């Protein structure tokens, strides 16, 4: 049986740090399921490519970035976090995490409506001009 390449496609124009845990977890799940992975690749958009209206050059539309070393390097950190994640998922109680800027960075959290219930009307992060230093 031949080995596989794990290819993640993103609509971004660059590799972002937030993608590394994503491909690291995918690598862990696939290799843990017996799939042998040769390379971990992130395809992202090439913002220098311009379609001429006639001939599509799809090989120029994406840039391929080899993230194999990063995915391999993430395995130790992931293994260190797995038991804590299992404990949290198996708990009948929600995690005791106070809503903060991390709820919106790098992306808005899908649980914001739930976790943000009961916050004061003029919660500190809602105030204009409040930066990280002032919080």
Q: HSE (CB half, 13 Å, CA atoms) of 111?
A: 9
Handedness of CA 37, 40, 44, 48 (dihedral sign): negative
* Nearest CA among 67, 51, 88 for reference residue 15: 67
DSSP-assigned states of every residue in 63-99: EEEE-HHHHHHHHHHHHHHHHHHHHHHH-SS------
pLDDT in tens, 21-68: 999 999 999 999 999 999 999 999 999 999 999 999 988 999 999 999
Residue ranges per structural domain of the chain:
4-92, 94-135
What pTM was computed for the model?
Answer: 0.72
Give yes or no for residue 1 having a pLDDT over 60.
Answer: no
Are the beta carbons of 68 and 39 closer than 8 angstroms? yes
Given pLDDT bands bounded at 50, 70 and 90, which one contains residue 131?
low
What tokens were used for 85? 């994640």
């Amino acid at each position: 049986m031949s080995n596989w390449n794990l290819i993640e496609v993103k609509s971004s124009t660059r590799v972002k740090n937030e993608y590394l845990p994503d491909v690291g977890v995918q690598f862990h799940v696939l290799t843990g399921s017996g799939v042998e992975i040769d390379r971990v690749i992130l395809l992202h958009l090439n913002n220098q490519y311009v379609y001429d209206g006639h001939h599509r050059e799809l090989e120029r539309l994406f840039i391929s970035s080899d993230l194999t070393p990063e995915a391999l390097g993430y395995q130790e950190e992931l293994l260190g976090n797995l038991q804590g994640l299992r404990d949290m998922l198996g708990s009948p109680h929600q995690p005791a995490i106070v809503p903060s800027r991390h709820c919106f960075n790098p992306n808005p959290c899908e649980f914001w409506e739930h976790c943000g219930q009961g916050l004061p009307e003029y919660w500190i992060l809602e105030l204009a001009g409040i930066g990280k230093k002032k919080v």
